[in-house]
Structure 1
Amino acid sequence: MARTARPARPTLVAGGVAASALLLGACAPVTTALNYSPSDGSRVDLDEAGARGLNLMVLAESEGATGEVYGALTNDSADDLDITLTPTGASPVTIPVAAHDTVYLGVEDGVQILLDDVEVIPGANLGATLEAGGESESFFLPVFDATLPEYAEYVP
């Protein structure tokens, strides 16, 4: 009894699907190489100046209350920099950051930045600008209250 040849179509289809998946995977960006904010605050990169704002946030009891800025300012450049933070509705604050150094905001040994009147409710974002070395970037500062237990003792 003679057997008829089975078409190789299922094998070809499976091979085509596997090749397509490999091709798409090779085209996908490597997300671990992207800059991101690993915590609740915002990250701002001023690449030309060599400065960064890390995990920047405001802690405040309510809208219209006093708020305090937390996070860090880093200077990766070879020169000392003055980094200016300007939250919406507040006066600009300039912090000197030495070359290859980081200044922490809101912590006991760091720089204290108090905002007299936070213009948004906790849970919203407050507009801000970070400037250093002639470069400027607008971003949003998230505002938190004592709802999250990890921030409760730090809310002014």
Structure 2
Amino acid sequence: MNFAPKNRVRQSVAAGAVLVMLGVSGCTFTTEQSTTTQYAASDGVVKDLGPVLLRNVLIVGTEDGRTGRLVGTVFNTTDQPVELSIRAGGAETSITIDGDGEFRFEDETEDDATLEGLSGRPGSLVEVDFETDGEQATFQVPVLDGTLEEYRDFVPGGFTPRPSEPEATEEAAEGE
């Protein structure tokens, strides 16, 4: 009886199947699971600067890119009030965050949150300088417009939908 050729064929097929499986699934052995990666699921930046935590900070701007309004929340992790200076382009504003408190740009007057003289149109990133307690950092902050409904109330000068957007089309149809 001669079993050697059949066994070699079976062994070759088995070895080939193992190699194919390793080739197809081998990357999962070395790749990190995407569900274990922590990230900030927000439209704005999430950064820490000394005792100040910046959460979902972004700029809602106008089409000409000259004016923008800050949106987001900043937290103070100390029990003493902290001053935060914000500069972008030629614009500057300063806010005070109470000890162990938070400051929501959406809840404040436009004087605290409006930046005049920006050079970033919606869809771009603008370098914004943040400074507090002698610590300073520059972050790339996104500029959005009123396309997303949740930001329409914050567009300086108000939001006007483009004619191709459903709201404008519906309003035009009602006016006929």
Normalising by structure 2, what TM-score?
0.64
Provide the rounded CA distance (Å) in 1 between the counterparts of 2:133 and 2:22. Answer: 48
Provide the rounded CA distance (Å) in 1 between the counterparts of 2:96 and 2:63. Answer: 26
**Equivalent residue for 1:34?**
38
1:57-136 aligned at under 5 Å gives the runs 57-63=58-64, 65-75=66-76, 77-80=77-80, 81-99=82-100, 101-107=101-107, 112-136=112-136
> In structure 2, do the counterparts of structure 1 residues 118 and 103 end up closer, same or farther at CA, with 3 Å as the change threshold?
same
Secondary structure of 1:120's partner?
Answer: coil
Task: Tell me if the contact between 2:45 and 2:141 (Cα under 8 Å) persists in the aligned partners.
Answer: yes
**Equivalent residue for 2:137?**
137
Task: Tell me if the contact between 1:63 and 1:118 (Cα under 8 Å) persists in the aligned partners.
Answer: no
Task: Tell me if the contact between 1:70 and 1:107 (Cα under 8 Å) persists in the aligned partners.
Answer: no
Shift of 1:128: 0.3
Shift of 1:33: 4.2
> In structure 2, do the counterparts of structure 1 residues 33 and 62 end up closer, same or farther at CA, with 3 Å as the change threshold?
same
Secondary structure of 1:45's partner?
Answer: strand
Shift of 1:70: 0.5
Secondary structure of 1:137's partner?
Answer: strand
> What RMSD, in angstroms, separates the aligned Cα atoms of the two structures?
3.3
- Amino acid in the other structure paired with 1:58: I
Unaligned runs of 5+ in 1: none
Task: Tell me if the contact between 1:44 and 1:130 (Cα under 8 Å) persists in the aligned partners.
Answer: no
Provide the rounded CA distance (Å) in 2 between the counterparts of 1:151 and 1:55. Answer: 13
Shift of 1:119: 2.0
> In structure 2, do the counterparts of structure 1 residues 10 and 54 end up closer, same or farther at CA, with 3 Å as the change threshold?
farther
Of structures 1 and 2, the larger Rg is shown by 2
Provide the rounded CA distance (Å) in 2 between the counterparts of 1:91 and 1:128. Answer: 10
Unaligned runs of 5+ in 2: 157-176
> In structure 2, do the counterparts of structure 1 residues 90 and 108 end up closer, same or farther at CA, with 3 Å as the change threshold?
closer
Range moving further from structure 2, 65-74 or 19-28: 19-28
Encode CA deviations 1:75-131: one digit per residue, 9 max, x unaligned.
Answer: 3x34433333222211242432423x3321123599941112332222222210223
Range moving further from structure 2, 5-14 or 134-143: 5-14
Could you tell me the percent identity over the aligned residues? 23
Provide the rounded CA distance (Å) in 1 between the counterparts of 2:99 and 2:57. Answer: 19
Provide the rounded CA distance (Å) in 2 between the counterparts of 1:128 and 1:103. Answer: 18
Provide the rounded CA distance (Å) in 1 between the counterparts of 2:79 and 2:126. Answer: 30
Provide the rounded CA distance (Å) in 2 between the counterparts of 1:143 and 1:115. Answer: 12
